[in-house]
Amino acid sequence: MKISLKLICLIVLCLIVNRSFAQQQTIDQKVDALLGKMTLDEKIGQLNQYNGDWEATGPVTKDVGNKLDEIKQGRVGAVLNIMGTDHCRTFQDAAMKSRLKIPLLFGQDVIHGYSITFPIPLAEAASWDMEAIEKAERIAATEASASGINWTFAPMVDIARDPRWGRVMEGAGEDPYLGSQIAIARVKGFQGNGIGSPDAVMATAKHFAAYGAAIGGRDYNSVDMSLRTLWEIYLPPFKAAADAGVGTFMNSFNDLNGIPATGNSYLQRDVLKGAWKFKGFVVSDWGSIGEMINHGYAKDNYEAAQEAITAGSDMDMESRSYINNLAKLVADKKVPVTLIDDAVRRILRKKFELGLFDDPYKFINPDREKTALNRPENLEAARDMARKSMVLLKNDNNLLPLSKNLKTVALIGPLVKAEKELKGFWSLDVDQNKGIVSLMEGMKNHAPDTKFVYAEGCTITAESHNGFAEAVAAAKKANVVVMAMGEAPDMTGEAKSRSNIHLPGVQEELIRAVKATGKPVIVLLMAGRPMVFNWTADNVPSIVYAWWLGTQGGNAMADVLYGDYNPSGKLPITFPRSEGQIPIYYNHYNTGRPAKSDTDLFYVSAYNDLRNSPQYAFGHGLSYTTFEYQNLELGKFKPSVKGLKPIQVSFMIKNTGKRAGEEVVQLYIRDMVSQPVRPIKELKDFKKITLQPGEIRRVTFTIKRDELAFYNDKLERITQPGTFQIMIGSASDYIRLQKSFELTN
Ligand code: NOJ
């Protein structure tokens, strides 16, 4: 019986594989047939992408003709920034008037939701909840694909160790393992059952590569790093996205060790299309082909186009270098037509896979658009994602959660009534910001019998203290004070780097003034990056990091403040005490002179005017309940590198508090002696566990061979014998259990 079941499964699997192989074959044949009919100009047209009629997300190239006419002439393969079925229809109609009727791709930055705005990606990363993240992208894809969009420029999978960088909000934080898991979840969510499903959008892994390591955290800046760091830290999420079947890659604005990513053959040809066998296409970032002139890498657009196509950039977003130069480059024998054919093939293949040749209007269905957006069950999912994204940084004496029977609560701060701000950067104005729930509204929804007194106190950035007296008076009337403070939403995002990441303006002074009333104070912080707020961290009993939580932000914040949801978020990025510590990250090397403590300054690696430890470490986040970790055990295994089989690591975890709660248990390893050296901790796995009060559960992780491996100085992936430490933590700086084992040769 068992055998026949296995056999049936095998046959079904073979049929599926065979079918998709056959489908791919027919797509390849169709692509070749179409390619055979195309003139060189039509081929080059497919490599050209223009900005549409929505807000431009970069500097638009001037002096161009009428876009619709160009589309009719077959000079455009894709457009971006066109939203809504009516707009998309106008553009697709034009494409259907071109000689070969090749449909357009409609690309859009659907970064954290489409009509319903979900928390910013960095916030979602704090949930460590892959199912919820996948679901969020599924909903975004369902909405976007009903509005004409078939391609999203997401996920951004750039690792970021520098919170000054404005785009830190758009990624999954600092860790390559967490970042890879999130990259997979996002690709799966966007692409659903595969591109070609009517409710899927083709995803883009961006920005290839190392964009997040811009020197000094200044956007668009150069990147200089060893190839080993590139492979260890920055490439894993890209590889994970490629393995998860992401349709496209976008290259990046930065140069990497002197070579702009857009003209970088090593990245795009050797690694991506070579070693990783990526079959999708690479779109340039906005204007990045032309920007190779500014980099000083190409003399003019003609040379820039030559460098980019040679290096494997398939589609030119907005720089017009390809459309204006490729034909001449071919005529001048500087670019072989085979290179152009390869790029066109990759793009056409995706258009076939999306089903656009069967029905160019597949995603342009106004009836679907009317019913797919803002569905109540999806708003509920956005609320759930939002509460999972919050991080309880501090909760002295269990000040939180609040009782719903409090007589008077003071709501103070510049973000109490914030609505559209909650959407954060990279959100879309699909529904004119209708239906966003502010913190004030969320609080009132939860505690209808409480009296809320409100004072703004100060604005986000102004230096005026004029509102302080009113805020202090409001605090004095209340049993508890909730303060909503933070950055403005456009202080993070593209081109939004900052050298000063302190809580802006006089906000921290306002917190001091309110705290001085002696009332219990809870501070909610909203921002797209880790901020610096040392006084608050040291003096305010309860702090919740609320990022930008999207449409349902106010309800979600109130869910957490009132304990309808027990917070479970953990920081996906280190919070520094000062900009002077940046870059700061948990998985650093030990150095030859590690400090023994934060006060150890005796000829050790430390700042004399600043502690070494961060304000809050990677992985940190509290709950309203407590968890006890016990009995770490390693399963039996052959301790030799050669015969190494997966190692079982298990332990018990108990909810020792009075509430049900979720804990993200984190598995770190350290390779104690190795050449080259290894970080003091590396996250290798995690699980989010739900436990009822008093419940105890065994948690098991499996460490596989590759998790003990690393790149040596020749970029070979090796495992070395020696001592490995296994650490189970509830944060990178709070290791609950540990054990070592030896690996022999
Ligand atoms: C530039 C950004 O770097 C990229 O992430 C985005 O997708 C494009 N502009 C299009 O808006």
Pull the structure tokens for residue 255.
């140069």
Least confident stretch, 70-74, 98-102, 633-637, 723-727: 633-637
285: annotated active-site residue: yes
419 lines ligand 1 (CB under 6 A): no
Q: What angle do CA 522, 418, 464 make, to 5 degrees?
A: 75
Report pLDDT digits (tens) over 262-301: 999 999 999 999 999 999 999 999 999 999 999 999 999 9
| Neighbouring C-alpha atoms within 13 Å toward the C-beta of 143 | 26
Atom 11, ligand 1: residue with shortest CA distance: 57
CA of 177 to the centre of ligand 1 (A): 24
CA–CA dist 268, 56 (Å, integer): 27
- What mean pLDDT is reported for the chain? 96
DSSP one-letter code for 625: S
Which residue minimizes the CA distance to atom 9 of ligand 1?
Answer: 286
Ligand 1 close to Cβ of residue 508 (< 6 A): no
Instruction: Take atom 3 of ligand 1 and give the residue whose Cα is closest.
Output: 285
Helix (H, G, I), strand (E, B), or coil: what is residue 10? helix
Our answer on whether the CB atom of 158 is closer than 6 Å to any ligand 1 atom is: no
Amino acid identity, position 241: A
Q: What is the arithmetic mean of pLDDT over 476-485?
A: 98
Using a pLDDT cut of 90, give the percent of the chain over it.
92
Q: Whose CA is nearest to atom 1 of ligand 1?
A: 286
Q: What are phi and psi of 458, to 5 degrees?
A: -165, 165
User: Ligand 1 within 6 A of 618 CB?
Assistant: no
- Nearest ligand 1 atom to the CA of 252 is 3
* Buried/exposed 502-526: b ≥16 CB within 10 Å, e otherwise: ebbbbbbbbbbbbbebebbbbbbbb
What's the pLDDT score for residue 1?
A: 46
**Cα 520 → chain centroid:** 35
The pLDDT value given to residue 58 = 84
129 lines ligand 1 (CB under 6 A): no
Q: With a 6 A CB cut-off, is 153 part of the ligand 1 pocket?
A: yes
- Counting DSSP H helices and E strands in the chain, the numbers are 21, 25
- 107 ligand 1 Cβ < 6 A: no
d(CA 176, CA 238): 10
Residue to substitute in 79, 156, 250 for testing ligand 1 pocket (most ligand atoms within 8 angstroms of CB)? 250
* Best residue among 157, 170, 282, 286 to mutate for probing ligand 1, ranked by most atoms within 8 Å of CB: 286
CA of 281 from ligand 1 middle (Å) equals 16
Ligand 1 and 285: CB distance under 6 A: yes
Ligand 1 centre to CA of 286 (Å) is 6
Q: To which H or E segment does residue 331 belong?
A: helix 321-331
When computed from its CA atoms, the radius of gyration of the chain, rounded to whole angstroms, is 27
Please choose, from the candidates 117, 156, 130, 655, the residue with its C-alpha nearest in 3D space to the C-alpha of residue 388. 130
Judge whether 615 and 731 are in contact, CB under 8 Å: no
pLDDT tens sequence across 314-359: 999 999 999 999 999 999 999 999 999 999 999 999 999 999 999 9
Residues 196-227: pLDDT tens digits? Answer: 999 999 999 999 999 999 999 999 999 999 99
In the sheet with 521-526, reading across from the earlier edge strand, the strands are 391-395, 542-545, 521-526, 480-486, 408-412, 451-455
Q: What pLDDT is stored for residue 97 in this prediction? A: 98
- Cα distances from 527 to residues 101, 220, 513, 623, in angstroms, run 46, 21, 22, 21
- Dist. CA 401–CA 567, nearest whole Å: 10
Question: Residue 203 corresponds to which amino acid?
Answer: A
SS3 705: helix
Nearest Cα neighbor of 346 from 276, 285, 304, 283 is 283
pLDDT tier for residue 675 given thresholds of 50, 70 and 90: very high
Q: Is the CB of 109 under 6 A from ligand 1?
A: yes
What pLDDT, in 10s, does the model give residues 103-132?
Answer: 999 999 999 999 999 999 999 999 999 999
Give yes or no for a contact between 660 and 690, defined as CB atoms under 8 angstroms apart: yes
What is the C-alpha separation between 469 and 507, in angstroms, rounded?
14
Q: Which SS3 state, helix, strand or coil, does residue 671 take?
A: strand
According to DSSP, the β-strands at 451-455 and 647-655 are unpaired
Q: State the number of CA atoms in the 13 A half-sphere of 64 facing the CB.
A: 21
Q: What is the pLDDT of residues 234-263, one digit of tens each?
A: 999 999 999 999 999 999 999 999 999 999
Residue having the nearest C-alpha atom to atom 8 of ligand 1: 286
pLDDT of 222: 98
Q: What spacing in Å lies between the alpha carbon of 57 and ligand 1's midpoint?
A: 7
β-bridge pairing 48-51 and 78-80: parallel
Q: How far is CA 294 from the centre of its chain?
A: 28
Closest Cα to atom 4 of ligand 1: 285
Minimum mean pLDDT range among 53-57, 393-397, 471-475:
53-57
Whether ligand 1 lies within 6 angstroms of the CB of 286 is answered as yes
Contacts of range 83-87, beta carbons closer than 8 Å, 24 or more positions apart: 83/54, 83/108, 83/147, 83/148, 83/149, 83/428, 83/430, 84/147, 84/148, 84/369, 84/430, 85/146, 85/147, 85/148, 85/363, 85/364, 85/365, 85/366, 85/369, 86/366, 87/52, 87/53, 87/54, 87/148
Beta-strand ranges (E) seen in 146-213 are 151-152, 204-208
pLDDT of residue 644: 86
CA 696 to each of CA 11, 15, 202, 630: distance values in angstroms, whole numbers, following the listed order = 42, 44, 42, 10
Residues in the chain: 745
Catalytic residue among 175, 285, 314, 559: 285
Q: Which atom of ligand 1 is nearest to the CA of 154?
A: 7
Question: For a pLDDT cut of 70, what percent of the chain falls above it?
Answer: 96
pLDDT for the residue numbered 335: 98
Atom 7 of ligand 1, nearest CA residue = 153
58 in contact with ligand 1, CB cutoff 6 A: yes
CA distance linking residue 144 with residue 204, whole number of Å: 15
pLDDT tens for each residue of 552-597: 999 999 999 999 999 999 999 999 999 999 999 999 999 999 999 9
CA of 568 to the centre of ligand 1 (A): 32
